[in-house]
Structure 1
């Protein structure tokens, strides 16, 4: 007989997959209506498997489109036994029982978009659920990464996320915006990688339904937060200097993801497909 947590894990994994499907469809529709200087892009979809234990997912990547220079929308559902480093990292975060039982299950969606037009902002979003025999929790968020910032774009992105957060907790937006500001900071550069958003992890209030509803709200807010910006900026004229600024900013993004990002470290340490884990890296970048 299916246990309660088995049922909840199945529901969460199915929702992450459904959100992935809707975002892929929305991005391909945006390609169809983008500047007709290039063929409309389409996602290449590859099944992924873990090197050890079980599970896998879908890696969906589009390259060289009208709007997106490279965008990946990945979904995964994996399970197995944590490697010692990952187990130790979770123990240091106070995950109950992880010292004695390293089994885990995780599912989620992860998205990173790098745009053709330097005026259109890069963006990241992910939502996920994690389970161990002693605990479960949700995590995720979304943040905007323009190389050329427009105040109205930043305001729209944050207002959409605030509305999603406010519907589930009066202090959620302020708390998770501050967490994003801290998490997406690049210490060796002394600056943020973008203009922020929201970020949360280890979310377990004791009410699975409420925490899952909030996680869904963050995921559902992504398209209304980002799509108007992509539509507005993708047809804007740009210069060689704009492209240069974009490539330099992408270098910052790559540095952050390779050195600090928790998801990158976890994916590589648990044997997930390296191409899927490193999907977030830009197609081209530049360093001064």
Structure 2
């Protein structure tokens, strides 16, 4: 059983790396294809890649990953695509959080292993929506599960863009269970909500966590399809909006909306809380924050 789970962990970690490579290549190709607009004179954006490390409290190796960030491109103002595989012992706060979520045996043995990909893109053109995507696998001695999803965050909304994004997410869900899309869309609407602003962060997508049907292969296949759905969901919207004319008022709207995004990620986001609580590289954890934002 241990050998089988070790193989499954390795396969999941390798898949997140492969998905990362696909997305990085697609985003750099998008930069190359942008030859018009106010940022066309910029050099096409390229990702800067940095290895990240995590150490346990006793100084021993506890995993790491790759942080890939592109800044100041023709299409992307800032985009990060991070992968990590980390392990060790959960701290007291994380143990309590896991126990509250019903993870069996976590207080008796708080060992863990986690691997995943996390992406956030902030765009140059205010009409081109920001986006977030992640998929991950989490393991403890008493349980394993998958989580992830993607959501669109426009500062200037277009109904057809929202419809396209959600249709692509649904297409990734439906082959696995016709109920998944509605269930995980509703979870995204609840999760990506900013209570202190009484509004949603964006126009939603899907979000799931603690996903374990008892069939690891089926759940892994579902998570892979969620990852594969991302580029078909996001690239056509970006290609449609990247040349839309914009003015100073549009840019101001974008910066204010980014303030909402920053508030959510710093106050409510599970991934941010987990990454900081488990002593992962803070630059990688906070990669999601926009390069510029504004509060009124």
Same fold, TM-score > 0.5, yes or no: yes
Q: 1:284, CA displacement in angstroms?
A: 0.1
Give the structure 1 partner of residue 16 of structure 2.
Answer: 16
Q: Could you tell me how far apart the structure 2 residues matched to 1:164 and 1:203 are? A: 15
- The 5 Å alignment of 1:242-281 reads 242-281=250-289
Greater alpha carbon shift after TM alignment, 5-14 vs 33-42: 33-42
Contact 2:55 2:63 in 1 (8 A): no
Q: Give the Cα separation in 1 of the matches to 2:175 and 2:150.
A: 17
Distance 1:167 1:161 in 2: 11
1:48 matched residue in structure 2 = 52
The Cα shift of 1:164 comes to 1.0
What is the distance in 2 between the residues matched to 1:159 and 1:104?
35
Q: Which structure 2 segments of 5+ residues have no match?
A: none
- After TM superposition, give the deviation of residue 2 of structure 1 in Å: 6.5
RMSD: 0.9
Q: Which residue of 1 aligns with 2:192?
A: 184
Partner residue of 2:6? 6
Which residue, out of 71, 86, 102, partners 1:78?
Answer: 86
Query: 4+ runs of 1 displaced by more than 2 Å?
Result: none
Alignment of 1:1-288 (within 5 A): 3-34=3-34, 35=36, 36-52=40-56, 53-288=61-296
Query: Normalising by the residue count of structure 2, what TM-score does the alignment of the two structures yield?
Result: 0.96
Deviation at 1:37, TM superposition (A): 3.0
Deviation at 1:77, TM superposition (A): 0.5
Figure out how many residues of one structure are paired with residues of the other and give that number: 288
Q: Deviations over 1:50-80 (max 9, x none)?
A: 1325100000000000000000000000110
Point out where structure 1 has 5 or more consecutive residues left out of the alignment: none
- 8 Å CA contact retained: 1:46, 1:58: yes
TM-score normalised per structure 1: 0.99
Q: Could you say what secondary structure the match of 1:50 adopts?
A: strand
